[in-house]
Structures are given as C-alpha cells and as structure tokens.
Amino acid sequence: MVPLENYLALSAIVFALGVYGVLARRNAVMILMSVELMLNAVNINFVAFAAYLDPGRIVGAIFAVFIITVAAAEVGLALAIVIRLFRNRATANVDEAATMKW
Amino acid sequence: MEGFGPSFAFWVLAALTLVAAGGVMVSRNLLHAVLFLILTFIGVAGFFVLLSADFIAMAQVIIYVGAIAVLVLFAVLLTPRSGRDNGETRWALPGILLAVCLAAIFLFVVHDTAWNTVDEAPAGLDARALGTALLTTWVVPFEIASVLLTAALVGAIMLTRSPEEEAEDALV
C-alpha cells in the first residue's frame, strides 16, 4: 500500500505550484486556475486522511464534497467578474484594475 | 491492496499530475494552460479512485472537468484575443522563493510527523453512508452550501448582464 506521506508530499508540491501562480501571474483567469489547483491539493489531503486515519472514512469525504461545492460557486462568480472587467477595462491584468488600491 | 499495482498506479498518476500542474504554470497561452488544468483534474480524480473514494472521484470528474474547466474555457474564448496572452509575470523570483520555502516546510512536516495511521485495509467509501451523514449530522452546512450556490448563480447573472438590459431595469 502506498504510504500516506506520498500523498501528502504530492499535494504539498501541487499546493506550492498554486501559490506561485497566485503570486507571480497577472492574468485574472490564470490566478483563478492557480486557486483551483490549491483547492485540489487540499482535497487530496482530506481524502487521503480519511482513508488512512479515520476508520469511518466519512468526515474527510464530506469536507471534500463541500470544498468542491464552494469551488464551483467561486469559479462561477469570479469568471463573471472577469468578463465584467473585460467589458469595462478591456484587460484581464489585475494590476490594471487597482483603482481602489492607494 | 498488496503488491505492485497500487504503488505503480500512484507513481504514474503523480507524474501525470505534477507534469500537468507544471504545464499550467509554464504555458504562455491561456488555452494551453486550461487544457493542462483539465489534465491535472483528471490526475487528481485518479488519486481519489486509488484511495477508493469512488463518489468523490465521480464528483471531481463531473464538477471540475465537466463544469468548472468548461466554464473557464468559455470565459477564455469569450474574451478578446488580447486577454489570452498569459506571459506577464511580476515578482517571479520572490514567488518562486516563497513557493519553494512553503513546499520545503510542508515536506519537512510531512516527513517528521509520526502519522497515527489505521492499519486495517481501507474499506471503500460508502456513498449511502455519505449521503446519510450529509442529511443528518451535516445538514446545516449542506443547506448553507445550497444557499451559497443559489446566491453565486444570481450574482453571476446580475454581473454579466448587457448594458441594454441594465438600462431597461433602470426605467422600471
């Protein structure tokens, strides 16, 4: 059986890739995709913990289900905001939409 | 779960997922990044199958690959060509440094902790038990999640209306 550490290490690397994408990329859609990557890494962690640490296996799976739900809501709203940004500013660069930033 | 098969499947899936996730970060064209992202989602679904969480794997394929990725693709295709350029990167070096440090800390913690794993062979995740738990113990978060989805849907529709529709509403 694959050790639990392998799953955790893999999800840590995927999460770090997502962190880099959020920090360094300037395209709004790209930042959104990096957030999705991070949420997926968290989901791997939850399901792996449920399989390896909890004999009942339910709670980790429930967390994963809720994370998937919230991710769906988040993507729907964020893409609506991106389309709106395109219509008003003709750009997807988040640095050019910094009117409220001093 | 003994033997060669699961660990071989793990390494193949790990290679697929990591290469695809790296491709999302590296590719300069936003469309290619979305396609790599779909590949990553499929790899993660493979991990869920490997962890014998069939229901979560199915939900992953249907919601992430089927809905979220297609939504992102639509958003990319609906926006003008100028927005499809993904090349711009600011503060790349601090970003890489922070990501590497974060990964190092995570890997150290994962390696250093004595995980209190259950020894018995994992039974498959029971979808019936999951549904029962969702509608009894977790019913309040479940309802809140449904309200959240409705609110997000209404908000997305409100945000993406055309200027003509908004002008019509202003008269009423």
Give the span between the Cα atoms of B41 and A68, in whole angstroms.
12
Q: CATH topology for B1-86? A: Four Helix Bundle (Hemerythrin (Met), subunit A) (1.20.120)
- Let me know if residue A100 belongs to a domain: no
Q: What is the pLDDT of residues B113-146, one digit of tens each?
A: 888 877 665 566 778 888 888 999 999 999 999 9
Q: Tell me the residues of chain B between 34 and 63 that have a Cβ less than 8 Å away from chain A.
A: 34, 37, 40-41, 44, 47-48, 50-53, 55-56, 59-60, 63
Q: What is the pLDDT of residues A8-56, one digit of tens each?
A: 999 999 999 999 999 988 888 889 999 999 999 999 999 998 888 877 7
- Let me know if residue A98 belongs to a domain: no
CATH number at residue A77: 1.10.287.3510
Overall domain count for chain A? 1
> How much is the ipTM here?
0.91
- All residues of chain A having their beta carbon less than 8 Å from the beta carbon of residue B126 are 57
| Domain assignment of residue A77, given as a range | 4-89
pTM: 0.89
Give the span between the Cα atoms of B21 and B33, in whole angstroms.
9
- Let me know if residue A71 belongs to a domain: yes
- Let me know if residue A97 belongs to a domain: no
Residue in chain A closest to B163 (alpha carbons) equals A87
DSSP B122: P
- How many C-beta atoms lie closer than 10 Å to residue B1's C-beta? 11
- Let me know if residue A95 belongs to a domain: no
Q: Backbone phi, then psi, for B122, in 5-degree steps?
A: -65, 125
- How many C-beta atoms lie closer than 10 Å to residue A78's C-beta? 21
Give SS3 for B120: coil
Give the span between the Cα atoms of B156 and A79, in whole angstroms.
8
Give the span between the Cα atoms of B104 and B114, in whole angstroms.
18
Give SS3 for B113: coil
